[in-house]
A and B are shown apart, each in its own frame.
Chain A
């Protein structure tokens, strides 16, 4: 039978309600201000956070590590990516390793879909999902939402276009859940191999034309093309993707005034986004990175001691 995850776990956006999302975003904004004043270092003093990365990650791991340290917590990093354990280590092995160490919370990135969900059922401490296969990346969606809220005010009623490899993107999936829960209209667009009509099951509108999506959007979120991970026949070339679906200044010139540009990074400049758009005044890409730390502070605090 299914066992409920420990209180404070964050295994995905799919199971969260709007109230919890708002609470995390509000607290992240508060912690962001407190951190600037150096007021957060005592919040998780004496606590230990395990950062278990069974898949390569630099940004997300650094961001979680910075968040934990900003709260005064110790971090223990298990970075298996790149070592020989990656291929052979099943989720079961990971669970056995973590069950008895005595951490206060664990952050898990795993290549297996549902990895964080199953770990959360198997251990008594809170589990934070830092990405499970192509399924979800909840803290990325939360930091995107905080960034959107900072610039757009309320999320309700806004139209957000997500363009690129939607099908294989955990960022897209978590954003679809979060944004629709918060009352946004979400448009998804990409080549048929990357954004098939079935994606509508996420509660989003699948749009054929990126120009149409950009025109209607209050914010455009471009996704990273990971060509090295795509099978044959998914995409003819980066060049064709850039021409037909990439965000360049010409395509973006049709956007409404004030439309934001987001990207979860790292960007393939010249593929999904051109330099002038990535570095232009509408881009909030580096705000996203900064907000990542604040959101992860809020999630870690919620996991270990609860949101005040």
Chain B
């Protein structure tokens, strides 16, 4: 029986509040301090609850969950749209079956419509029974208002939460970057911010009339944040989230050519005021959660043009550090957006810091730096490869198992 006692630490809860300076883990469970514990001096590092990634692709389950662990995640919600539409019971069983033995927990979400085409409803009731925690459209929309209102009515009766992106499909069209001076100057087809404003207002209006439980994903504009804040202030029980890229990445500071395919994101990265509104939204809680929106890197050639590239980037190993940087070093706010926030969206908290429970814990050392792409080779296809991010996830326990790092390495922390 081994008990380790992490001391000289800043222990945070799921809402990012400091709750202590030490934590004991005994045989994978949170324990009361007792004589004989091996003390590990963390020299001021943060001990935080294991993080939950609200959406991102899962391809090779073993590899992707290992990468998630290096990013401090102990729970990952698989996106309903990548790599394939999650629109059959078999596809859900297959994913959850492959992930069953891994200590990092995997939750599934289902496609709302068959093939994510936005036309006919997928069997969301059966998909819920197969284990899906919500139904959504991933990066896709439901172009028809009629289909959307029916989907909401249907889901409301079954109590299935809908995760929807607010984006007018026709206004999004062929655009690749956000509307603004940069798009004009680079000659790139743009997407007006109003595309999101229209889409979010549509979802809010239909949610009001149907009573559907809605979570708005991939928020990317200042207008979108305002619309959500206003709906919440009116008492509508909605939640919202953003991809880490939309609030933490500034393409104008990238060393890449502005036409490089690695700079393609969906939704596009907004302008400075959009990013600032998202950051403020996370701080204020209007944006409940931040997700990795992790994309699988399938490109092997780095000359793909932004107009031709598939959107998205790997990010699960760096999302916490990217978010901390965007929040000017506010580790607590980042933890809330990646732990307490996602738990609220999911409606299921994990008692991660409670004595007797299995340890879901990450150790985050803000005195070290992480060179992106060095440990996680999939990040080579990210626009931030080669960038040094402040902070390092030194260890992650998930459901009682140490899935990243070693206790020995924690001893020379700092």
Contacts and interface: CB of A to CB of B under 8 A. Distances in A.
A1 interface: yes
A135 B303 contact: no
Interface stretch (B49-57, B74-82, B185-193, B311-319): B185-193
A201 B259 contact: no
A112 B188 CA distance: 9
A80 interface: no
Interface string B235-270: 000000000000000000001111110000000000
A136 B187 CA distance: 7
A118 B262 CA distance: 12
B257 A134 contact: no
Contacts of A95: 301, 303
B256 A198 contact: no
B272 interface: no
B107 to A, nearest CB: 36
Contact of A91 (B184, B187, B256, B308): B308
A92 B301 contact: yes
B202 interface: no
A65 to B, nearest CB: 26
Given A112-B308, A198-B184, A201-B181, A134 B303 contact: no
Q: Which residue among B185, B188, B306 has the maximum number of chain A CB atoms within 10 Å of its CB? A: B185
Contact of A114 (B179, B182, B255, B259): B259
Say what secondary structure dominates the interface of chain B: loop
B307 A112 contact: yes
B250 to A, nearest CB: 16
A119 B182 CA distance: 21
Given A91-B304, A95-B303, A114-B305, A2 B256 contact: yes
Contacts of B189: 113, 134
Interface in A30-86: none
Nearest to A199: B184
Contact of B260 (A92, A118, A198): A118
Nearest to B179: A198
Say what secondary structure dominates the interface of chain A: helix
B20 interface: no
B386 interface: yes
Contact of B186 (A1, A90, A135, A199): A135
A135 B188 contact: yes
Given A114-B257, A114-B258, A119 B303 contact: yes
A86 B189 CA distance: 20
A114 B181 contact: no
Given A113-B186, A201-B182, 11 more contacts: A1-B256, A91-B305, A112-B308, A113-B187, A113-B189, A113-B259, A114-B187, A115-B259, A118-B260, A134-B187, A201-B184
Interface of A: 1-2, 14, 90-92, 95, 112-115, 117-119, 121-122, 132-136, 170, 173, 198-199, 201-202
In order of increasing CB-CB distance, the 5 nearest A-B pairs are A114-B259, A135-B187, A201-B181, A201-B184, A112-B305
